[in-house]
Amino acid sequence: MGGAKNCPETPRQKMIGMMYLVLTAMLALNVSTDILNGFEMVDDSLFSSISATEDRNANMYEFLEQQKNDKPEKYTEPYNEAMEMKQKSDSLFSYISKFKRDMAVLAIGEEKVSEHNYSTGYAVRGLGGTSNLDVTGQYGCVEGHGAELQMKIEEYRDYLLSTLAKHSNPMNQTQVHKMVDQFNMLFTCDSLYNRHEGKMDTWVNGMFDGMVLNATITVLSKMQNDIRATEGLMVQYLMGSADAMDLRVNKLQAYVIPKSDYVMRGAKYSAQIILAAIDSTQRPEYYIGNERINDHGLYEVVAAGSGEKKYSGKIGVMSSTGEMEYLPFESSYTVGEPNATISNVDMNIMYRGFDNKFSVSVPGVADSKVSVSASGASVSRSGGNWVIKPSESAKEVTVTVTANMDGKSQVMGTNKYKVKQLPKPSSFFVAGGESLSDGFIARKLLLSSEAYVEASYGPDGILDLPWKITGFDIRVGNNVKHSNTGKLTEDQKALIKNLPSGSAVTLQTIRAIGPDGKQQNLSPIALLLK
């Protein structure tokens, strides 16, 4: 009973199906009441088939419960789903039983129904060959019970299909497709031929309008038989889904999963050794070389020396024949000297009072486990960089990088940096897309509202830092005019406006504040009007 198997129809079931088809055809031909009594025989046969199916289902439930008790990690979920399947099947089955009994009460009365033991909800005993065509239409169509039955049948079918999809996998696609087709056929509520109206109609009208009571009850008994057979098939399918987790492959592969392939000397190397497709209820044996390690396959060794370290071993697993099979594996890791890579992002030296950006990394160690400290400077994080700002009195800063290795702090590297003041930038007059430190300039560009004075290290400088102009003077002969920004004032422009071509205009006493907050006096700019 390990995997799900299709249950072929027994000769008895085939006979019942043939009798049902023959009698239904006879009904369509308006055969005599005596012949309609044959439905009682069909219904009795269905009752026997249902009883036998329920016995088989009960045995499967008992087996599945025992499996759950023996291997709860494997069979608890299939067992719970099987119990849910049983509850939904019982609910629809009981509803149909009540449906049949209520129609029988309308036809022959409560007393006769009780006399012929309709409590079972199966047989049509006692109805005889009645040609009553009103009861089924009244109960199923007029009173609306047929629509309620249709809804319950469709809900049951949808539940079956969703359960199939939940456990579908590449290995059982053929089986799932067959079961989907079967359930859609057994529990369909598509349009039916309405014998009373002589045309295609809704499932409810086609099922109950103008139908002889004996035939309707027999059809419903057949549906109950389908429910019990489907219930058993689904329980087998659920058990088969659990069995699909067994170790049933034609090729096994051993894997080594290290936490890291790179290990510092003195640190611990850890690797998880696993066997693909292994059954969780079976515990393999793990060996490094010929020495057996723990039952979890966790291999740990303190790294020594340096360079690549290779190791190999095997995994022992019990085969289906009861013999131990061994699967080999091999792997390697690298032991390196403690080191760190430290590079200055913005410059080769460290500048006083300035946020110097550093990129720090340690091979094989996550950034979150790396820390940086510095003597004579403050250290902080900004984005992916470390920001180191030397104090005003510092002449040298030592940067130390440490890493958290297996819960212990280990120094990975140090480096020393000289501390200098930020270099003085050059001054430029920017106008018309050009930056001039001296030379000729058109009067129009000099007086442009877009022109300004800037301080920078120029296009060839190694630094690209922001400097702010805080003021400058313009000298023309002995006349001097002041500005407290980087742009010319109206007084300065008036001084230049009527000068003849070739006149000298000097921008002097140029003042700028750098990112270190210190003000610098920059070189003058000598310009000649074109």
Domain boundary among 336, 370, 401: 336
Which uninterrupted H or E stretch holds 526?
Answer: strand 525-529
> 413 pairs with which residues across the strands?
401
Q: Tell me: do 104 and 170 sit in the same domain.
A: yes
Mean pLDDT, to the nearest integer, of 276-305? 78
Q: Tell me: do 44 and 94 sit in the same domain.
A: yes
Distance (Å, whole) CA 73 – CA 57? 23
Task: State both tokens at 179.
Answer: 């079961």
Domain boundary among 336, 351, 368: 336
377-382 β-sheet, strand order: 341-344, 356-361, 385-390, 377-382
Tell me the pTM: 0.45
- The reply to whether 403 falls in a domain is yes
Domain count, the chain: 4
Q: Of the given ranges (196-200, 215-219, 231-235, 435-439), which has the lowest mean pLDDT?
A: 196-200
**Statement: residue 250 has pLDDT above 60:** no
Q: Tell me: do 352 and 451 sit in the same domain.
A: no
**Domain CATH for 350:** 2.60.40.60
Task: State both tokens at 255.
Answer: 């894997």
**Statement: residue 529 has pLDDT above 60:** yes
* 232 neighbors 245 (Cβ within 8 angstroms): no
Q: How would DSSP label each residue in 371-434?
A: EEEETTEEEEEETTEEEEEE-TT-SEEEEEEEEEETTEEEEEEEEEEEEEPPPPPEEEEEETTE
Q: Tell me: do 210 and 234 sit in the same domain.
A: yes
**Statement: residue 426 has pLDDT above 60:** yes
pLDDT at 82: 93
Residues 33-43 have pLDDT tens digits of: 555 566 667 77
Domain range for 118: 11-243
Residues 168-213 have pLDDT tens digits of: 876 577 888 889 999 999 998 887 766 666 678 899 988 888 888 8
User: Helix, strand or coil for residue 506?
Assistant: strand
Q: Tell me: do 184 and 309 sit in the same domain.
A: no
Distance (Å, whole) CA 104 – CA 99? 9
Domain boundary among 336, 362, 382: 336
Among 67, 24, 68, 20, CA closest to 45: 20
- The reply to whether 248 falls in a domain is no
pLDDT at 513: 94
Q: Tell me: do 365 and 471 sit in the same domain.
A: no
- The reply to whether 249 falls in a domain is no
Task: Write out the E strands in 140-239.
Answer: 192-194, 199-201
Q: Which residues of 491-530 are buried (b: 16+ CB within 10 A; e: fewer)?
A: ebbebbeeeeeeeebbbbebbbebebeeebebebbebebe
pLDDT at 319: 63
